[in-house]
Chain A
Amino acid sequence: DGGITQSPKYLFRKEGQNVTLSCEQNLNHDAMYWYRQDPGQGLRLIYYSQIVNDFQKGDIAEGYSVSREKKESFPLTVTSAQKNPTAFYLCASSRRLAGGRYEQYFGPGTRLTVT
């Protein structure tokens, strides 16, 4: 899916350090999302934002923080309070279309390893 970039692809950190994952989209989508995926598991929602300067907690927000200062950007900070931060992090963006449909795309993801 084009238009959403996440960097870096792989990230390694020591335990106790905060780390920020970037997500940028050029699709002019209003809503942006962060999901976490563990091996063999589905996607769990961390945070989402429907509009600039506003965001809501998802199902597993503890230990994470976000900001949405620009429409194009939705960075995720994994804090030292997150007990099991090693995972595959996926950013997505969407916009509502006519007829109850949505256009939603995922970025390529960042694989975070914390040791």
Chain B
Amino acid sequence: AQRVTQPEKLLSVFKGAPVELKCNYSYSGSPELFWYVQYSRQRLQLLLRHISRESIKGFTADLNKGETSFHLKKPFAQEEDSAMYYCALRVGGGNKLTFGTGTQLKVEL
């Protein structure tokens, strides 16, 4: 069975500092990986997916199949980045996503 691990429950950084939210997965095949974000008092929403290889709001994530990781990075944290971030994995084209437990990012001034 597939599994997603986010080792940090809380990550606190200063504004302007680099951010790296860790995500590791276990699955022997070729999964699709996603980052979802939930800002305060907002709904859970998609931030980015590995297949599109985009930079969204300055965030990037590279799928490393050798290390089975999909870490989320941003070079300079902004106050508005404070949110709960969930890494998720999908196998097949349906809507079954396997989520990690989430990392609360707090950007301090």
Do A and B come from the same complex?
Answer: no
